[in-house]
């Protein structure tokens, strides 16, 4: 048996592996678990995209290595997508880098820009893969608490002058996983000012960019003036087009950051399967009704959940975007204690907030990733719990 490297041993523990195990144990015993704990979209990829993959998969050109750094046509499609959706101009070659899903880019970026010991600002609660990127770069993490009273936006005044001076990179993510918060243009404008003043590279994770409720369209970071001077946005097709299994996304924005990502990737990959790239271009440029329909679907599920829980006396706030609801756990439970309680007594799996950072304590994350009917069933199971009996 070989020992693992110190680097590997230093990586953060996968908190949610234990949740998967717990749920698995119940399912094996035949329990009918409503699993709202994971972040895996439940709908299939729209047919026109799958059909494109089939045709492109038959083309022998795609059986060879695809071009280094991805197909020009996909980069052009990504640029056209940003122009159409957000009015943002991007140079396909210099301002876009193709990624193996958003996760790969997010994990790679710290290694592209930081030296060991450099500081990264990371939201807490936040998507745990940011921590992996920090560790792989042997960088130092300073967390930015996301508090409910501040609409789950970081309060930059909480950062000390020394922290700002040392920080080289900042992760942001709106619509937010796990809180469901969205950011407005004013917040991004403020962020750009702060980043410019302190020479911080902003990495905005726009994984849930297509999912905004109550008629509010989430703002892209790149829509703010000067965004390209100070950072990039990571876009993924996983959620917008239900393509999580396809592993395709892109980074867009600052040329020097894009060049760094491309350079690192030159040493790791050639590029994605050509047929996947052609289908991804089809997703970005083809019919977009599927995106609006998906948004409506999540919004209806959200309404069923939030209205249902409010009716039974659980004080919860509605997410404004993403496909997660971030629910305050009733007293006197901890987030892990309450998740265990729901699993044991109601056979409902949710993600404990503390798995997203210490400021996630006191909340659970509920994915809007099952049918309205199952959502209703979940609400009715919760209603019959001892703690909600009046």
Positions touching ligand PLP (CB under 6 A) are 39, 101-103, 127, 173, 177, 205, 207, 236, 238, 244, 249
- 247: cis peptide before it, omega within 30°? no
Q: By C-beta, is 220 or 236 nearer to ligand PLP?
A: 236
Q: By C-beta, is 339 or 369 nearer to ligand PLP?
A: 369
- Taking alpha carbons only, the member of 249, 207, 209, 252 closest to residue 79 is 252
328, β-bridge pairs: 363
Least separation in angstroms between CB 187 and ligand PLP: 17
Q: By C-beta, is 97 or 382 nearer to ligand PLP?
A: 97
Q: By C-beta, is 243 or 327 nearer to ligand PLP?
A: 243
Q: Give φ, ψ of 242 to 5 degrees.
A: 50, 50
Least separation in angstroms between CB 390 and ligand PLP: 36
Least separation in angstroms between CB 40 and ligand PLP: 8
What is the token pair recorded at 146?
């996301």
What distances in angstroms separate CA 87 from CA 25, 84, 223, 376, one per listed residue? 49, 6, 7, 39
Least separation in angstroms between CB 156 and ligand PLP: 20
DSSP notation for 308-359: HHHHTT------SBSSEEEEEPPTT--HHHHHHHHHHHH-EE-EEGGGG-GG
Q: Give φ, ψ of 264 to 5 degrees.
A: -60, -45
With contact defined as beta carbons under 8 Å apart, do 33 and 349 qualify?
A: yes
With contact defined as beta carbons under 8 Å apart, do 68 and 270 qualify?
A: yes
Least separation in angstroms between CB 173 and ligand PLP: 5
Least separation in angstroms between CB 376 and ligand PLP: 25
Q: By C-beta, is 86 or 174 nearer to ligand PLP?
A: 174
Least separation in angstroms between CB 188 and ligand PLP: 17
Calpha distance 119→264 (Å, rounded)? 20
- Taking alpha carbons only, the member of 198, 191, 127 closest to residue 153 is 191
Q: By C-beta, is 208 or 338 nearer to ligand PLP?
A: 208
User: Helix, strand, coil: what percent of the chain each, to 5?
Assistant: 50, 15, 35
With contact defined as beta carbons under 8 Å apart, do 271 and 66 qualify?
A: yes
What is the token pair recorded at 124?
């807490």
Least separation in angstroms between CB 389 and ligand PLP: 35
Q: By C-beta, is 119 or 173 nearer to ligand PLP?
A: 173
Least separation in angstroms between CB 104 and ligand PLP: 7
- 53: cis peptide before it, omega within 30°? no
Q: By C-beta, is 247 or 347 nearer to ligand PLP?
A: 247
Angle at the Cα of 370 (from 219 to 21), degrees rounded to 5? 105
Q: By C-beta, is 240 or 262 nearer to ligand PLP?
A: 240
């Amino acid at each position: 048996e070989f020992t693992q490297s110190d680097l590997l041993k230093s990586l953060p523990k996968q908190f949610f592996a234990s949740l998967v195990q717990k749920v698995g144990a119940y399912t094996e015993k035949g329990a009918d678990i409503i699993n709202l704990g994971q972040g895996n979209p439940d709908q299939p990829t729209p047919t026109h995209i799958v059909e494109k993959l089939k045709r492109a998969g038959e083309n022998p050109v795609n059986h060879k290595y695809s071009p280094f750094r991805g197909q020009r046509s996909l980069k052009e499609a990504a640029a056209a997508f940003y122009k159409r959706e957000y009015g943002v101009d991007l140079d396909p070659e210099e301002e876009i880098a193709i990624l193996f899903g958003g996760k790969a880019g997010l994990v790679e970026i710290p290694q592209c820009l930081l030296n060991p010991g450099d500081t990264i600002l990371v939201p807490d609660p936040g998507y745990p893969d940011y921590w992996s990127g920090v560790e792989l770069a042997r960088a130092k993490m300073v967390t930015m608490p996301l508090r409910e009273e501040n609409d789950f936006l970081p309060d930059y005044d909480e950062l000390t002058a020394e922290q700002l001076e040392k920080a080289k990179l900042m992760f942001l993510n709106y619509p937010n996983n796990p809180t469901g918060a969205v950011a407005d243009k004013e917040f991004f404008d403020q962020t750009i000012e702060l980043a410019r003043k302190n020479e911080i590279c902003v990495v905005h994770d726009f994984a849930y960019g297509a999912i905004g409720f109550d008629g509010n369209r989430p703002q892209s970071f790149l829509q703010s003036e000067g965004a390209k001077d100070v950072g990039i946005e990571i876009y993924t097709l996983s959620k917008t087009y239900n393509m999580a299994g396809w592993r395709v996304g892109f980074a867009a924005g600052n040329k020097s950051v894009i060049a760094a990502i491309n350079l690192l990737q030159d040493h790791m990959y050639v590029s994605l399967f050509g047929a996947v790239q052609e289908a991804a271009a089809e997703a970005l440029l083809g019919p977009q009704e599927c995106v609006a329909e998906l948004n409506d679907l999540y919004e209806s599920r959200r309404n069923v959940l939030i209205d249902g829980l409010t009716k039974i006396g659980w004080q919860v706030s509605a997410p404004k975007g993403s496909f997660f609801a971030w629910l305050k756990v009733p007293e006197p439970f901890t987030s892990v204690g309450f998740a265990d309680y729901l699993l044991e007594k109601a056979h409902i799996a949710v993600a404990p907030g503390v798995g997203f950072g210490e400021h996630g304590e006191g909340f659970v994350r509920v994915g809007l990733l099952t049918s309205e009917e199952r959502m209703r069933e979940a609400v009715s199971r919760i209603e019959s719990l001892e703690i909600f009996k009046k």
